[in-house]
Structure 1
């Protein structure tokens, strides 16, 4: 999301005409979830995607018209669209997309998104998605301020308060509000999207596997810290992709580390002097994922040492060891994918099985996201759980 909006902000600064496309509603199985963005610049440059390719060409032509007229529009795509000249969504579900011009007048404040993401601060957007005079009106909200308008000062204040409550969730939801911000009228649908602080990964052990894991985790948007007690191995030169390289005993670092449910802890040392004291703390923390590398023999020995140290069976059940999924990984790079696959499966409540061996939709169906109560902290996306 933020990469697309960052590109739009750059186009705005350069004076390039552009349009923004947002999935605002869906039913059944669709390739991308509600809130997914795609941007199109005058001249043909496209960033992002809203489907597997079956509707992008049609959306491109609509975006060109919207850039010419300045009038936002909503289009619906469905697997049932089979008429002459129509564009069908091949995955079996249906979606509605909002196409709007993305000039600084239409979408002000996008630079706040790039600044907030760069600083590791949460940021959110709110867009009116019900058809009418306010369609496409948007605001960008940080913890301290907002920019833009949804069409009415009272509505802006109400929407800003709603977005603020969602800043740390990293979720997408739709709320129903009256034209001046009250809940009674239910006249406007407002899509709220938030970009939470990036998830963090703590990697212990400056080994070859750590090189690959740090690089791959960064590609997935993690803020990564590499920690090792050996100053010769734990250097920024050896781990240039890491956000931070710390020379410290793992348990000493963990005692004061900020650990949340969005933290993944990966212990790659397979040395009891390092990993047992670190895992004692990690398994009693709020971390969403705790994994440790090692053979099955190492794992058995480690479990006994942790029991001797007083770690309970409930705490031990949180440990992913040997770390990762069974992908047949042989190289450090393949092992990194194995580890992150397990992290993703835990986060998204996936089975980790081959898709061809399980039934049901490939893409999780989207539930009804309309919620007039707008409960704070509620995860509205299917399979969305607190975790890494």
Structure 2
């Protein structure tokens, strides 16, 4: 498709005619893509469920190609979002994916679902992170999306603890820029006597609350959307939540964004029941229990360093197998099928009580 000429300013009428023509071409191409997606489905044969058609590694490769080809003016994130929605709609021709998330409707977890799977997927709001794991491992949900880390508040321990007992695997990751807003029914700061929110969000906004609402009671609830639901029936209350929750529950924005850190970002994990092939830019998550001996952790990490494998993250948690016993969650660059990682895992075995691959998945896209 041609770009506007620089030597002649197009009239408004000419620009609109050209846009109409481009829209027509886009619609034809999207329909053609959908028909070819049907052909892919037929080529795979009579699979049993939508989850069997979904290939996150292929999707990541396609979206990286979108970024590589982008020469503006739209930013990478916007183009990725547009193409994600096209792929979501094409996939749903077989059957929409069912994605569990921490509900109710309007949470940041739901926003992460839409960023990763598009709006053609079926969102399944659940009451807790534990329920998300249960619905995925039981097969009632194809995938789940759970928060695991915030850039300011660190790891979300309940998510890590679920991996100690659950058989769920990690199939992807989503990074979501989180903007917190103060919402209420009346929209006046002077009326606020109570503030409802998720504990993490209260922490993310504690400096703003201390300055602007020093006397207001802070009440922790299960999710920001639940906070918004409670605030809509309490004229003396406000909720800390996102813009989506404001729209869903009919609240007014008193102030926002009110998060203390300008880079406030939450990382979510996509959980499923299997490990997918490499995409070309991947991360592998490990759960390692060490033997009780001097230098045990060094012996675990040494094989990674010797092969030049970058460790992105390490977090320890009580292993629940005995008093003062710990397990380590380790994220490394690369896919578990890579030769170097396979060799490193083998070298870890003498020093480890147990090594479990939690997942290998594409690195988060914009």
Smaller-chain TM-score bracket? under 0.3
- Provide the TM-score with structure 1 as the length reference: 0.24
More helix by share: 2
Give the number of the structure with larger relative contact order, counting CA–CA contacts within 8 Å between residues 6 or more apart: 2
- Provide the TM-score with structure 2 as the length reference: 0.25
